[in-house]
Amino acid sequence: MTISKKVKVKIKGFLVVVSLFLVVSAIGQDAYISVKAEKGDGVYSLLRKQGVDPYETFDDFIALNSENLRDSIHLYEGRTYFLPTPDSISSIEKVKEEAPILVNSVSYPLFGEAYSDVVIKNTRLKGAVYYLISGHGGPDPGAMTKYGETYISEDEYAYDLTLRLARELMAQSATVYVIIQDKDDGIRDERILEMDRDEVAFPDKVIPLNQTARLRQRVDIVNELHKKHSGQFQRLIVTHVDSRSKGQNIDVFFYHHAKSKNGKKLAESIHETFKLKYKKYQPNRTYTGTFQDRTSLYLVKKTHPAMTFIEIGNIRNKKDQKRILEPDNRQALAKWISEGVIKDFESGEIGPIR
């Protein structure tokens, strides 16, 4: 599998544990403790409150509680969850060692120390190539607003979501190029993401201050890589955070090139995934996000791969800020987008450039 020259492929033994019943049965009744999720708890905050390192135990927590999680990563308020302990982790590791299923793991340092190892879960996206661009970066922070006493910026949250999406796609055996990169940040689990200006464009190009030059640079990078992977299934996903009036709450919405059949299908596949997720998890709320053509956008107009341009919310609106600032929500967004991407690939075609 080719991800990029910077990725080192290692073989490790893992068991993809998908059943809480099987795991708990293997562990036994005395090897774990339980805790009730309170209002506002996410997986990371719950583990931290119990004095458990979330970075070391996150995957084990998910394995222990997979049948009791909303959309694979969210807790239900008031429900009881099993907490990883040394005994339970040891038992899980024993199950893993005895399991006949071995899968690859890749190390991708750009994700940061806590997330650099990516377990390859399956080959559903094998052969597909994805270019991921997070909006703004370098000298341009994008949309900004004051949250409490701190300023937050579009580029940091779009970048964190993009890294999470890249990790999800790699786990499905896709080849992924992260076009805007910050070697220092990685995936972050804080609500307030500190602003900086040290992002570069793949592989290590300085991002221009001039907007047109900045966009042209990204177009040139993607189009050159597109030529390199000629004949393969290729898609581009651009992620932004919108800025509107504080009172305007918006859903996630998607743009595509007016003449791109494949771009429209990609946008529609992700859009349909979001509609289904909202219907399942927020049945009393109407999802108003749309997908539509917007060829006037520079990246939409000039890039060669079929693409979708995603706006994930209004950075100035309090309700949208919850979607953007909460790390569990950013992870859910990445997972939902990845599910739409898989749907597009499995029902798709390589097709012409557009």
C-beta separation of 354 from 257 below 8 A: yes
What is the pLDDT, as a whole number, of residue 226? 98
Instruction: Say which amino acid occupies 172.
Output: Q
C-beta separation of 82 from 32 below 8 A: yes
pLDDT, average across residues 55-83: 81
What is the pLDDT, as a whole number, of residue 304? 97
Pick the CATH number of 105-346 from 3.40.80.10, 3.40.50.620, 3.40.630.40, 3.30.43.10: 3.40.630.40
d(CA 130, CA 139): 25
pLDDT, average across residues 265-290: 90
Q: Which residue has the higher pLDDT, 170 or 59?
A: 170
pTM of the model: 0.77
Cβ-Cβ contacts under 8 Å for 48 (sequence gap 6 or more): 54
Q: What SS3 class is residue 244?
A: coil
d(CA 315, CA 245): 9
Closest CA to 316 of 63, 66, 124, 143: 143
pLDDT digits (tens, 9 = 90+) for 189-243: 999 999 999 999 999 999 999 999 999 999 999 999 999 999 999 999 999 999 8
Residue the block writes with tokens 């005994």: 87
pLDDT digits (tens, 9 = 90+) for 272-284: 999 998 888 778 8
Look up residue 222 and give its two tokens: 């993607």
Look up residue 92 and give its two tokens: 């899980």
Q: Which residues in the chain are classed under CATH 3.40.630.40?
A: 105-346
Question: Residue 12 pLDDT > 60, yes or no?
Answer: no
Cβ-Cβ contacts under 8 Å for 208 (sequence gap 6 or more): 138, 139, 214, 217
